[in-house]
Amino acid sequence: MKKLLNLLFLTVLGHLAHAHVGSTGVQMQGQAGPYKILVNIQPPDVIPGTARVTVFVENGNVTSVEARPIYFRSGDKGAPSADKLIASQQSQFEGDIWLMEPGSSSAQILVDGDKGKGELIVPVMAISTAQRDMPEGLGIMLSVLGIILFTLMITTIGASVSDGLLPKGETLSQPKRRKKYINMGIASVVCALILYGGSSWWNAWAAQYKKHLYQPIKGSASVLDQGDERTFRVSIDTADWQSQNRGNMLSTLIPDHGKLMHAFLIRVPGLDAFAHIHPERQDSTTFQTSLPNLPGGKYVVYADIVRYSGFSETITDTIVIAEHSRKAPESPKFSEDTYIITDPINAPGNVAMDADVVICGKPGTKTVFQDGSYAIWEGKPDQALEAGKAYQLNFEIFNPDNSPCLPEPYLGMMGHAVVMRSDGSVYVHLHPSGSFPMAAEQIFKNRLADTTKLIKRPTSVVFKDSVDSYLTKLKAMSVLEREEFLMTEMGMYEPNESGMVGMDHGSRISFPYSFPKEGRYRIFLQVKRNERVLTGAFDVKVKGPSVM
């Protein structure tokens, strides 16, 4: 049974590991000028193709919403005109935009209404992950029509060199009949060669398209036992990168939330142990960091990285962590790496208690963190959510004395969440702003303001050195300085009346998300309180999309 589960997880991850896992849609909530909106974009799985854009307006009387794609390479100067979205119901607008180029893109949302105009940039990754098969009925119909056209063409050519030249009432002579058949034979050969050439061209084009279908980055995770300390390592496989045209991609990675890599380790099949850690770059293909005191077992690994264009990718693997009798030194309380142990997804409440354990909840219930504070997920208990529908996952945070808790910034955000389906086929790292890397949003804001029509690939050595210098600068900061720097960099701080930067947030944290398919999911919620990262777990059942 264990071997079967291992094979299942490896198979699922190997096919779905791109830009998060199994979660292709993009959700973003933000301010388009004076309007607070929620955007849900479902990109196509074949490029060129159309992306479905849905905009929910939460305030104001909006009269017009438009959307247009902005490509990283060509920027604003090379972007097409905006397409108007149609009001499908009150405060909801829908429409399609064409994504013509593969790679890192964005959708510019333009809003107009009683409060004036506003815009929002939503990062979108456009990649071909599927190859369309022709429907069987259509194939049969086209084959029949092709045979008819082929026959008509041959007979028409034969008639044009024989029958069409005969005077009225005269029969076809033997020489002319022979000429007719010769010309029909030549025409058959020529038409057959044309069909063969067309078929060869089509097959070659299809093979080229298949060759350029998105291939997930391959990597292997491992645990190195070094006496009293265990090291977690991710090694990236670049053996076939030349054929995939990835080039020097690893030298042009950019930090997201101040980290080059965010790695999540989740024990399977129970999803009852979780770690969020940040391996550091040792060389161009190796990242590693200390492994927390996770219990033994099989773990699925998701490691997120972001390219300089804003294109994010997830490296996946499974590892076995052995039971470790020597407990590693505890990390300082301000450590940005963290882990928890909780009850299994299929057996709630079945866990031995200690300092690192939390008990999971569900919508309408609470999860108590390790320090006694707790979170309540706003929602109706035992009511399944619907796949394909955009939701606001709202969590209210409280202190141990039941007073509202104002979380502290954690890696430049007021909270993080990881959503995982029970079989590992869906994984996504969420932020209050949406289901995309914050670095991508900033890149496209800068790209939109850039007047360069075509952007060039940066020099890898210079780029890598500048990123390393940036990371060194962050490490030298105090925790408070680093969080303030990251919050400002990602636009989480806004100037106030006194000219100082301030932060306006309460005890509620919201994550926009659309569950891609039905099943059982676990949500790991992360907030920071008293300089300590706290993690809670919530479970939800998702039903299939409703049929209209």
Q: Write out pLDDT tens, residues 130-143.
A: 776 777 787 788 88
Question: Where are the domains positioned within the chain?
Answer: 2-16+214-440+502-543, 25-128, 139-211
Distance, CA of 386 to CA of 519 (rounded, Å): 10
Report whether pLDDT(5) > 60.
Answer: no
How confident is the model at residue 316, as a pLDDT? 93
Contact (Cβ atoms closer than 8 angstroms) between residue 233 and residue 281? no
What is the dihedral sign for C-alpha 510, 511, 515, 516?
positive
Predicted structure pTM score: 0.81
Averaged pLDDT for residues 95-118: 89
Per-residue confidence band for 182, with pLDDT thresholds at 50, 70 and 90: confident
HEC string of 5-62 equals HHHHHHHHHHHHECCCECCCCEEEEEEECCEEEEEEEECCCCCCEEEEEEEEECCCCE
Res. 189: pLDDT tops 80? yes
Fold: same for 2-16+214-440+502-543 and 25-128: yes
% of the chain surpassing 70 pLDDT: 82
> What pLDDT sits at residue 317?
95
Quote the pLDDT of residue 302: 96
d(Cα 535, Cα 276) in Å, to the nearest integer? 10
Beta-bridge partners for 52: 42, 96
User: What does the pLDDT read at residue 206?
Assistant: 73
Residue 1: the pLDDT is 43
pLDDT at 294: 92
DSSP helix/strand/coil, 266: strand
Residue 351, pLDDT above cutoff 90: no
pLDDT higher than 90, residue 96: yes
Residue 240: partners with Cβ closer than 8 Å, 6 or more residues away: 215
Are the CB atoms for 47 and 99 separated by under 8 Å? yes
Confidence of residue 9 (pLDDT cuts 50, 70, 90): very low
- What value does the mean pLDDT take over residues 304-327? 85
Question: In this predicted structure, what is the pLDDT of residue 453?
Answer: 60
Q: Is 461 helix (H, G, I), strand (E, B) or coil?
A: helix
In terms of CATH, what superfamily is 25-128?
Immunoglobulins (2.60.40.10)
Q: How many residues does the chain have?
A: 548
Best mean pLDDT range from 142-156, 343-357, 433-447, 486-500 = 142-156
For residue 381, the number of C-alpha atoms closer than 13 Å in the C-beta half-sphere is 6
In the structure, how many helices (H) and strands (E) does the chain have? Answer: 7, 30
Dist CA 35 CA 117 (whole Å): 9
- Look at residue 503 in the predicted model and tell me its pLDDT: 44
Q: Which helix (H) or strand (E) holds 306?
A: strand 297-306
Is 2-16+214-440+502-543 a CATH 3.30.420.10 domain?
Answer: no
Mean pLDDT in the chain? Answer: 82
Residue 218 buriedness (CB in 10 A; 0-12 / 13-18 / 19+): middle
The top-scoring range by mean pLDDT among 122-126, 327-331, 479-483 is: 479-483
Q: In what order do the strands lie in the sheet with 26-32?
A: 26-32, 35-42, 49-57, 92-99, 86-89
Considering only 179-193, 286-300, 392-406, which range has the smallest mean pLDDT? 179-193
Two tokens, residue 161: 């060199």
Q: What pLDDT does residue 489 have? A: 81
Residue 16: predicted pLDDT: 44
Does the structure show a pLDDT above 80 at 37? yes
pLDDT value for 500: 35
CA 326/CA 230 separation, integer angstroms = 10
The arithmetic mean of pLDDT across residues 431-447, rounded, is: 75
The pLDDT confidence band at residue 2, using thresholds 50, 70 and 90, is very low
Read off the tokens for 83. 């397409």
Asked whether residue 265 carries a pLDDT value surpassing 90, the answer given is yes
pLDDT at residue number 496: 43
Q: Which residues of 242-269 are buried (b: 16+ CB within 10 A; e: fewer)?
A: eeeeeebbbbbbbbbbbbbbbbbbbbbb
pLDDT at 447: 62
Q: Do residues 537 and 360 touch, judged by C-beta distance below 8 A?
A: yes
Please report which confidence band the pLDDT of residue 523 belongs to, taking 50, 70 and 90 as the band edges. very high
Q: Map tokens 């809003």 to a residue.
A: 111
pLDDT in tens, 490-516: 776 654 443 334 444 589 999 999 999
Q: What are phi and psi of 478, to 5 degrees?
A: -70, 165
Top pLDDT among 185 and 130 is at 185
And the tokens for 253?
């990675």
Q: Is the pLDDT of residue 198 over 90?
A: no
The arrangement of strands across the sheet holding 519-529 comes to 385-386, 532-543, 519-529, 416-421, 427-430
Out of 45-54, 169-178, 240-249, 491-500, which region has the weakest mean confidence (pLDDT)?
491-500
> What does DSSP assign to residue 485?
H
Mean pLDDT along residues 342-355? 66
Would you say residue 86 has pLDDT above 70? Answer: yes
